[in-house]
Amino acid sequence: MIVKLLRAPRLLSKCVVRNFSAVEPVVNLNERKVFAKRAETNDPATHSENDIGKFYTVSIEDNKKLFSFYEFPAQFERNIKTFNESAFMIREPALEIINSLKTLDPTKPILKFVIYGRFGEGKTMTFCHICHFAHRAGWILCYVPTSTIWMRWSKEVTFSETKPESINIPLESAQWLRNFKIQNADLISKLDLRVRDKIVWSAREITEKDAPLMELVDHGINRVKYAADVVDVLIENIKLYSTEQRCRTLVAIDGFNGFFNPKSNLKAPDKTPVPPLRVTIMQSLMKLTQADWSNGAAVLTVDTKNSYPDNREFVFPLYLLHKEGFEHLDPFIPVYVPALNPKEVNNLLDYYEEKKWLLKPQAREEIEFLSTRNPYHLTELCGPL
């Protein structure tokens, strides 16, 4: 029998050699059809514990409305273009926060959640998931994904005319107002929220009492000089309306620990250094995270990348926020975003295979091991495969 096999190299190659060969068997991609598990609905409010690890798709309209400006991690932004859809994985930390938001007591002070975790394991994606839920559930979104970028480079830095010793970053403030308008204009006009007090900006520019709130926002966008003050007034108004239970508000700030850095890259017009809390828009956002209003929630992330370089050793909230930041937020609920579990890794790889991004399905276990189940590294590893 052996002799026969040896004499017939074709036979040998088929039945024996293949098992010992280092050459990968060719998989016919047309034959193998893998589909990632997806949630039944694309509404984040309906998802339950059973949907953990599954995907749901954010519609193009929502994506444009909510996440059109620096929101996603760069890698996910690229993948949206490649896969032609923006699919979020439903994970436990996001569900935990969403469930708390669903059962929010409107008479109690705002709930504060601090999301923390290691790099690339899904802090910002959890954050985006919650924002999408809040948007769909009819909450007003005060959404600040770029505070760190403001502190790195701002095109214009001026002294504030209303607050002594404070600094305005008018262009960035106006940009934020524009985003706020894109995200919330429909909702605010539907809720019919109006400006509470008459505001005199200058001899000719006056915002009347009971003018629509969006008029105030437009004023800030058109008169960039007043943008920072408009942000302040807007935030005061929203806080009061929320407390009166006329609206619900979600404050979402990415990289909140950046607020408590000892320094920023900005220089005041007189060349003095500017710590983040000397900037007016940051002071206004700090008011939003105080627990002196109700019927709202604050979802914040802390990230080592937003911290000052000598303060990046651990990912824990107290370490990153310092005592000052901790006392500002206390009592808050820390939410840890862990690495993916095996089920989630499997579904993510299924998703990449479905999208033909992963063409060598044999390497699954190896990818899982090499990436340490970190979704960022996992996606990087799948790139050349």
Q: Is 259 in the site for another protein (CB under 8 A)?
A: no
Rounded-to-integer distance, Cα 236 and Cα 230, Å: 10
**Contacts of residue 13, Cβ cutoff 8 Å, sequence gap at least 6:** none
- One DSSP character per residue, 170-230 reads HHHHHHHHHHHHHHHHHHHHHHT-B--S-EE-SSS-EEPTT-BHHHHHHHHHH-GGGHHHH
Burial class (CB in 10 A: 0-12, 13-18, 19+), 155: exposed
Please tell me whether residue 369 adopts helix, strand or coil conformation.
helix
Write out the two tokens for 10.
Answer: 């074709």
Please report where in the chains the tokens 């953990």 appear, as a residue. 52
Least spacing, CB of residue 318 vs another protein, in Å: 5
Among 31, 105, 192, 310, the residue binding another protein under the rule CB under 8 A is 105
Least spacing, CB of residue 193 vs another protein, in Å: 21
Strands (E), the chain: 55-58, 86-89, 111-116, 140-144, 158-159, 167-168, 199-200, 206-207, 249-253, 296-301, 333-336
Q: How far is CA 384 from CA 270, 344, 375, in A?
A: 51, 21, 16
Is 168 or 301 the residue whose CB approaches another protein more closely?
301
Q: Is 117 in the site for another protein (CB under 8 A)?
A: no
Among 291, 363, 381, 385, the residue binding another protein under the rule CB under 8 A is 291
Q: Is 313 in the site for another protein (CB under 8 A)?
A: no
Part of the chain binding another protein (CB under 8 A), chosen from 3-11, 27-35, 99-107, 122-130:
99-107
Q: Is 294 in the site for another protein (CB under 8 A)?
A: yes
Q: Is 310 in the site for another protein (CB under 8 A)?
A: no
Phi-psi region of 248 (alpha: psi -120 to 50; beta: other; left: phi over 0): beta
Size of the site for another protein (CB under 8 A): 22
Q: Is 319 in the site for another protein (CB under 8 A)?
A: yes
Least spacing, CB of residue 123 vs another protein, in Å: 15
Least spacing, CB of residue 319 vs another protein, in Å: 6
**Contacts of residue 340, Cβ cutoff 8 Å, sequence gap at least 6:** 121, 122, 348, 373, 374, 375, 378
**Helices 364-371 and 342-354 sit at what angle, rounded to 10 degrees?**
120
Q: Is 275 in the site for another protein (CB under 8 A)?
A: no
Q: Is 111 in the site for another protein (CB under 8 A)?
A: yes
Among 38, 83, 100, 196, the residue binding another protein under the rule CB under 8 A is 100
Part of the chain binding another protein (CB under 8 A), chosen from 32-40, 102-110, 182-190, 269-277:
102-110
Rounded-to-integer distance, Cα 153 and Cα 157, Å: 10
Write out the two tokens for 177.
Answer: 């107002």
Is 101 or 358 the residue whose CB approaches another protein more closely?
101
- Residues in 322-351 that interact with another protein by CB under 8 A: 323, 327, 330-334, 336
Q: Is 119 in the site for another protein (CB under 8 A)?
A: no
Among 16, 314, 359, 366, the residue binding another protein under the rule CB under 8 A is 314
Q: Is 312 in the site for another protein (CB under 8 A)?
A: no
Is 87 or 297 the residue whose CB approaches another protein more closely?
297
Least spacing, CB of residue 294 vs another protein, in Å: 7
Q: Which residues pair with 89 in a beta bridge?
A: 55
**Closest of 183, 239, 181, 243 to residue 212, by C-alpha:** 181
Backbone angles phi, psi at 339, to 5 degrees: -70, 165
Least spacing, CB of residue 334 vs another protein, in Å: 5
My answer on whether omega of the bond before 331 falls inside 30° of 0, hence cis, is yes
Q: Is 317 in the site for another protein (CB under 8 A)?
A: yes
Q: Is 69 in the site for another protein (CB under 8 A)?
A: no
Is 84 or 103 the residue whose CB approaches another protein more closely?
103
Interface residues toward another protein, by CB under 8 A: 100, 105, 107-109, 111, 291-292, 294, 314, 316-319, 323, 327, 330-334, 336
